[in-house]
Amino acid sequence: MKFDQQTIKNTFILLRIPFSIYLMPVYFFAVSQTEEINWTNASIVFLILHLLVYPASNGYNSYMDRDTESIGGIEKPPLPSNLLFWFTLAMDFMAVNISLFLLNTKFTILMVAYILMSRAYSYKGIRLKKYPIPGFLTVFIFQGFVTFWMVSEGISTTAFDFFSTDLIYPAIATSFMIGGAYPMSQIYQHKQDAESGDQSISMLLGIKGTFYFGMVLFGIAGGLLFYYFEILQQGSFLTYILFLLPLLLWFQIWMIRTFKDENEASFHNLMRMNNISAFCMNFCYIFFAIQNHLDFSLF
């Protein structure tokens, strides 16, 4: 079976590898809060997730959806081919085998669960994204809590009982942050989702309801992180807020503009929020990782 150069190029475009930068904050947050880290394993986990698992999930979703309008990270997506489908399977196969040989069983099991739920989210025969609540809960649980848990298990120097640690609080908070952001990612594509026969949670909430819903979930995440940083870790929640201040300001500005003119609920404004979010949150969690793991006594 031969594929022309354009088909190969389109396949790599639809994997949306650069889009992984928007999913990196969960990884860096887990790294920053896990106590003892095997840095070799941490590097392997990073590469598996951001170069294999996430792009394969993006590609499979594009293969099933066959989008003709803007999707996350691509304003004008090309049509997928069978090469994309087989490529995503090969990437998943590589991710599982690398994990089995180089990492540990817990990480591998959680990663397989993530992959299977990602497929159930998009696969036409199940298509959880077709339903507002199951689709939301899939992303809420697996891109948030499960991914944080998975990373912690993969990078830790020793086996540990995740649920007996304070890590469950930032893991739950991560789910609420993902849950608040997820409907925002759908706010500009109500028409496209309706044409596909899908009912997103943003469609269910409406444009204004999507912003209010996001505010509530972000507020719950903030409360959990305040308790975690200030009470459990004797850290600084204020530092966290200062890093995220540009994101919080843009969210408010975008919400006010959209309430005045619903045309502001656009792909370009969403991508602006995604870019600000990735910049603020990645730098915040990298700062915490340096603060918590770098031995300053060496200097």
Q: Mean pLDDT per segment of 10 residues, for the chain of length 299 residues?
A: 74 88 95 94 97 94 77 73 92 96 95 96 89 94 97 93 95 96 89 78 92 96 96 88 94 94 90 93 95 64
E strand or H helix that includes residue 23: none
Neighbours of 171 (CB within 10 A): 27
CA–CA separation, 79 and 11 (whole Å): 9
How big is the CA angle at 203 (ends 276 and 71), to the nearest 5 degrees?
45
CATH 1.10.600 describes domain 5-292: yes
**pLDDT of 3:** 64
**pLDDT of 198:** 78
Q: Give me the sign of the Cα torsion angle 44, 244, 201, 262.
A: negative
- Sorted by where each begins, the domain ranges of the chain are 5-292
| Contact of 95 with 48, CB cutoff 8 Å | yes
**pLDDT of 298:** 40
Joined together, the tokens standing for residue 128 give: 């959880």
**pLDDT of 299:** 35
| Contact of 8 with 83, CB cutoff 8 Å | yes
Nearest to 59 by CA among 75, 48, 76, 71: 71
**pLDDT of 214:** 95
| Contact of 52 with 91, CB cutoff 8 Å | yes
| Contact of 26 with 147, CB cutoff 8 Å | yes
Joined together, the tokens standing for residue 296 give: 């300053």
CA–CA separation, 145 and 257 (whole Å): 32
Neighbours of 161 (CB within 10 A): 6
3-state SS of 133-175 is HHHHHHHHHHHHHHHHHHHHHHHECCCCCHHHCCCHHHHHHHH
Q: Which amino acid is at 56?
A: A
| H runs (alpha helix) in the chain | 5-15, 24-33, 39-48, 54-65, 82-102, 105-122, 132-139, 147-155, 168-184, 190-196, 201-226, 237-260, 267-293
First to last CA, the chain: 58
**pLDDT of 2:** 60
CA–CA separation, 25 and 257 (whole Å): 27
